[in-house]
C-alpha cells in the first residue's frame, strides 16, 4: 500500500495541471400539479413518492426517464399511473428543473448554471504543503473554520450514509471553494470506500489546492480505490 501511494504521489506531482469533468448537472423532476411521483432514470429507480425528485451528478446529454404519479404515498405497485416515458436532454454544469406537463410531455422550465470552480489555491495557514506566495496577490477563501465545523457536526449526526453524502455535496457545491484538508475531513465521515471515493471525485473540481490531493490516498482501505482516484485526477 505504501509503495503504491508513493508511486501515485510522484505521478500526481509530475502532472501539473489536471482537470476533472466539471460538466455534471443536477436534475429535479415534478409534475404540473405537484402530485407525488416515482421516477426511473436510466433504469435507476427512485421509488419514494415525492412532489419532486432530485437526481444528482447527471452526465450532460440525452437520458431515458419514466415518471409515474401515485394516488397515495404508499403506492408502489397498484395505484400509480405512468405519465411520461421518453427522453430528456440535460445541459451541462447546471441545476435543471423539469416538469411533466398536463399533456404528458416533459419540459425544462429552468436551467441554473453552477458557479465555475476556482482553480487558484486558497489560503490555508495550517497546510504545511502550501508553498509561500503560491496564492498570488488575490486568493479565494475556503469555508471558514466555524462554518465548516458546524457543517461537519450536522453531517456527522445523520444516520444514513446517503444523507451524509447529499449534505456534503450540497455544501461543497454551494460554497464553491474547498481545501484538501476540508475534503479529507468530509471523506472521513463516510463509512465505505466506495462512498469516500465518490465524494473525493466530486470535491476535486471545487478544491483550490489540487496539487495536495494526493494526501487523500491515505483515506482509503483498498488499493483499487487509490488507483481509481489517481486515474480520475491524472
Digit-coded pLDDT (tens) for 51-73: 889 898 899 999 999 999 987 54
Segment 147-155 long-range contacts (CB within 8 Å, at least 24 positions apart):
148/182, 148/185, 152/185, 152/186, 152/189, 155/186, 155/189
**Alpha-carbon gap, residue 180 to 124, rounded angstroms:** 9
Q: Domain boundaries in the chain?
A: 2-22+118-233, 25-113
On the question of pLDDT at 8 being above 50, the answer is: no
**pLDDT > 90: percent of the chain:** 45
**Alpha-carbon gap, residue 172 to 155, rounded angstroms:** 12
The answer for residues whose C-beta is within 8 angstroms of residue 209's C-beta and 6 or more apart is: 121, 122, 124, 127, 129, 130, 179, 180
Digit-coded pLDDT (tens) for 211-230: 889 999 999 999 999 999 99
Q: How far is CA 153 from CA 18, 157, 164, 203, in A?
A: 32, 6, 11, 19
Q: Which three cell numbers stand for residue 76?
A: 408502489
Judge residue 104's burial from the number of C-beta atoms within 10 Å of its C-beta, 0-12 exposed, 13-18 middle, 19 or more buried: middle
What is the average pLDDT across 180-193? Answer: 93
Amino acid at each position: 500500500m505504501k509503495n503504491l501511494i508513493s508511486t501515485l504521489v510522484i505521478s500526481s506531482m509530475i502532472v501539473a495541471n489536471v482537470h476533472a469533468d466539471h460538466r455534471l448537472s443536477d436534475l429535479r423532476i415534478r409534475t404540473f400539479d405537484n402530485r407525488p411521483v416515482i421516477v426511473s432514470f436510466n433504469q435507476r429507480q427512485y421509488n419514494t413518492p415525492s412532489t419532486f425528485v432530485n437526481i444528482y451528478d447527471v452526465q450532460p446529454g440525452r437520458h431515458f426517464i419514466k415518471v409515474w404519479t401515485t394516488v397515495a404515498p404508499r403506492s408502489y405497485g397498484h395505484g400509480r399511473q405512468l405519465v411520461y416515458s421518453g427522453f430528456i436532454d440535460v445541459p451541462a454544469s447546471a441545476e435543471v428543473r423539469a416538469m411533466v406537463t398536463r399533456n404528458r410531455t416533459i419540459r425544462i422550465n429552468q436551467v441554473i448554471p453552477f458557479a465555475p470552480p476556482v482553480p487558484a489555491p486558497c489560503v490555508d495557514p495550517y497546510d504545511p504543503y502550501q508553498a509561500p506566495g503560491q496564492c498570488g496577490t488575490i486568493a479565494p477563501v475556503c469555508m471558514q473554520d466555524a462554518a465548516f465545523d458546524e457543517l461537519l457536526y450536522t453531517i456527522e449526526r445523520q444516520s444514513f450514509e446517503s444523507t451524509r453524502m447529499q449534505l456534503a455535496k450540497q455544501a461543497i457545491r454551494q460554497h464553491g471553494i474547498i481545501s484538501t484538508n476540508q475534503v479529507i475531513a468530509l471523506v472521513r465521515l463516510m463509512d465505505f470506500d466506495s462512498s469516500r471515493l465518490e465524494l473525493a471525485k466530486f470535491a476535486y473540481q471545487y478544491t483550490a489546492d489540487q496539487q495536495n490531493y494526493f494526501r487523500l490516498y491515505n483515506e482509503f482501505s483498498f488499493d483499487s480505490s487509490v488507483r481509481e482516484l489517481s486515474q480520475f485526477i491524472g
